[in-house]
Amino acid sequence: MSRVKIVGGTCFGIGILVIGAIVVLHKFRTKDALNAFISGQYSTVEGPVEQFDPMPFEGRRLECFSVQETRFCYSDYVVTPGFRNTASHGGPIRSGLIVRIAYKRIGSNNVILRLQVAK
């Protein structure tokens, strides 16, 4: 077998393993988020949106904000469980907006399970 076929096959195999690991990890995180919401095993925080840093329309960074010192970051371009609709793509979050958030820490992120906006 030629060297090119060996290297190509190895790269293909590694790529399949990486994609498989990403799919499995996403499935576990989604299941954790759903189970937390259904069972009520989540935290809540309410108050005004502070330290709002919107994501630019073309992406390239996360949109982040805090409510009572609890930090949330997300992006339309990153597939994660929970809320991830950025303001630049029609999402509701704005600085000073009064919200109530049900969230669960999954991995290193606070995942928004339910977002309620005051009228």
User: 42 near 103, Cβ under 8 Å?
Assistant: yes
Which residues are 26's β-sheet partners? none
Q: How many separate domains does the chain show?
A: 1
The model's pTM is 0.77
pLDDT exceeds 90 at position 103 = yes
| Residue whose structure tokens are 């030629």 | 2
pLDDT band at residue 37, thresholds of 50, 70 and 90?
confident
pLDDT of residue 9: 82
Cα–Cα distance for residue pair 9/78, rounded to 1 Å: 29
pLDDT of residue 1: 67
Q: By residue range, what is the domain housing residue 60? A: 1-119
